[in-house]
């Protein structure tokens, strides 16, 4: 479309104000606009009208934790990381994902120094989804709750921010850092990272509830894949899970939690508990690995060989899960089925909630006037029909 073309999407149902609203969507210059000013001030009609055939239009999906997919591993394919990122960014469009945070798992310092300069924040287009910044998951995590992260690469924070800067190098294109809040000096580190505009997530942790509360009071906003790689809920100390019902966090602050709604990592009853306890904080993440979109068999992730069998990914020769292979649109459907939540809630858990968590809901995650025209057409079964970035169709089923 040429610049300043006024597009009217008709015959659709919009996800707005936590409901489905029968209304037209107006787009110009890549933004969602208020049609009233067009009618009354400019006295203009639409240049292009698109009949949406009663489709649902939802904000584009935002994946805050994805390790790779389609044979690409962001942590392992160091020399080809740029082409790998481009491949995954393009493939994600078919699943309604318009923005994502490529995730690097615990790696040697040399890997971060090579990879981070090659993954820049950038706007999406027909070639792929927007890159919001990198999610660094490790190496400042718990050895006891390392999951699939290599033990020998896990580090402590004995020198505070010096450890962070030595390990990663430049943080300009980093959006999220996951660390274990029980580590010494973690509170000072959290405060420093938040002041730099980085979202701190707590996870891969043996931390108790108090550790979590201290972290949140220093500015941590997110829990990495709730229930996975943390202490199980205990009635005398509910651990990080207890943050969902804590009354010892700053007034008005929402604690967000990523949850892998792939039908494997989180039992449907656990999904229901999280949803009923703290729905406002629920953020669907895929935690997808290189095997997403690949056939069953043996593959590679990070420093490990792994096996895909029965739609699950394991460290080869073990029963340890090492990441999900479900796409975002699948996870949305699983969340809806497991919790009996509304379609709108499931869609907002993949769009509005992650945008709020990153502090970008003035631009992404809603269909409000003035926001980026990133959205998804879906049918009533929440199948993705088409994906749009900046008002341009970038995928059509």
CA geometry: angle at 37 spanning 31 and 43, to 5°? Answer: 115
Tokens of 373: 């025209």
User: Strand, coil or helix: what is 36?
Assistant: helix
pLDDT at 245 over 70: yes
According to the model, what pLDDT value does residue 3 have?
Answer: 54
Phi, psi values for residue 93, rounded to 5°: -60, -35
Within the chain, what is the greatest distance between any pair of CA atoms?
A: 67
Q: How far apart are CA 369 and CA 34, in angstroms?
A: 6
Binding-site residues for Zn(2+), in ranges, read 137, 204, 225
Per-residue pLDDT tens digits for 334-377: 999 999 999 999 999 999 999 999 999 999 999 999 999 999 99
CA dist., res. 99 & res. 390, Å (int): 12
Q: 301 falls in which pLDDT band (50, 70, 90)?
A: low
pLDDT the model gives residue 302: 56
Nearest-angstrom CA–CA distance, 134 and 127:
19
> Which residues are designated catalytic?
287
Nearest in space to 179 (alpha carbons), one of 207, 151, 153:
207
Name the binding residues: 137, 148, 204, 225, 228-229, 236, 265, 321-323
Cα 10–Cα 15–Cα 20 angle in degrees, nearest 5: 85
Give phi and psi for 250, each to the nearest 5: -55, 140
DSSP state of 380: T
How confident is residue 173, by pLDDT bands cut at 50, 70 and 90? very high
Q: How do residues 157-167 score in pLDDT, each as one tens digit?
A: 999 999 999 99
- Pick from 365, 64, 116, 337: which is nearest to 223 by CA? 64
> Which positions make up the binding site for substrate?
148, 228-229, 236, 265, 321-323
* Structure tokens, 167: 């390990």
pTM: 0.96
**Sign of the CA dihedral 261, 266, 268, 274?**
negative
**Overall average pLDDT of the 228-251 stretch:** 96
Domains annotated on the chain, with CATH? 7-58+369-396 (2.30.40.10), 60-358 (3.20.20.140)
**φ, ψ (nearest 5 deg) of residue 50:** -120, 120
* The pairing of beta strand 61-66 with beta strand 384-389: unpaired
When pLDDT is cut at 50, 70 and 90, the band that residue 390 belongs to is: very high
What is the rounded average pLDDT of the residues 139-162?
Answer: 96
pLDDT of residue 2: 44
Q: What is the DSSP letter of 143?
A: S
């Amino acid at each position: 479309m040429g610049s300043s073309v006024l597009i009217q999407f008709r015959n659709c149902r919009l996800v707005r104000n936590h409901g489905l609203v029968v209304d037209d969507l107006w787009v110009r210059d890549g933004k969602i606009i208020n049609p009233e000013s067009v009618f009354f001030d400019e006295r203009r009609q639409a240049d292009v009208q698109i009949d949406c055939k009663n489709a649902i239009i939802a904000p584009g999906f935002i994946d805050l934790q994805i390790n790779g997919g389609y044979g690409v591993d962001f942590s392992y394919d160091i020399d080809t990381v740029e082409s790998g990122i481009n491949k995954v960014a393009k493939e994600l469009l078919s699943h309604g994902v318009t923005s994502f945070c490529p995730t690097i798992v615990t790696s040697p310092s040399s890997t971060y120094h090579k990879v981070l300069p090659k993954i820049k924040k950038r706007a999406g287009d027909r070639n792929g989804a927007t890159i919001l910044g990198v999610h660094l998951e490790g190496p400042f995590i718990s050895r006891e709750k390392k999951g699939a992260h290599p033990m020998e690469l896990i580090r402590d924070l004995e020198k505070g921010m010096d450890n962070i800067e030595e390990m990663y190098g430049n943080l300009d294109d980093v959006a999220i850092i996951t660390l274990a809040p029980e580590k010494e000096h973690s509170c000072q580190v959290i405060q420093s990272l938040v002041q730099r505009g980085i979202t701190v997530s707590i996870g891969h942790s043996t931390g108790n509830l108090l550790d979590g509360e201290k972290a949140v009071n220093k500015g941590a906003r997110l829990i990495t894949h709730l229930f996975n790689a943390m202490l199980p809920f205990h009635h005398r100390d509910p651990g990080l899970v207890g943050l969902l019902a804590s009354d010892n966090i700053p007034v008005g602050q929402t604690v967000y939690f990523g949850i892998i709604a792939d039908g494997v990592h989180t039992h449907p009853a656990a999904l229901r508990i999280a949803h009923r306890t703290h729905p406002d904080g629920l953020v669907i993440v895929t935690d997808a690995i290189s095997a997403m979109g690949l056939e069953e068999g043996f593959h590679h992730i990070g420093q490990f060989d792994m096996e895909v069998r029965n739609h699950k990914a394991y460290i080869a020769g073990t029963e340890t899960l090492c990441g999900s292979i479900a796409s975002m649109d699948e996870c949305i459907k699983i969340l809806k089925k497991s919790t009996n939540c509304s379609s709108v809630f499931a869609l907002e858990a993949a769009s509005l909630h992650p945008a709020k968590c990153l502090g970008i809901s003035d631009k992404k995650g809603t269909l409000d006037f003035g926001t980026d025209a990133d959205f998804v057409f879906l049918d009533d079964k929440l199948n993705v029909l088409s994906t749009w970035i900046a008002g341009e169709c970038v995928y059509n089923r």
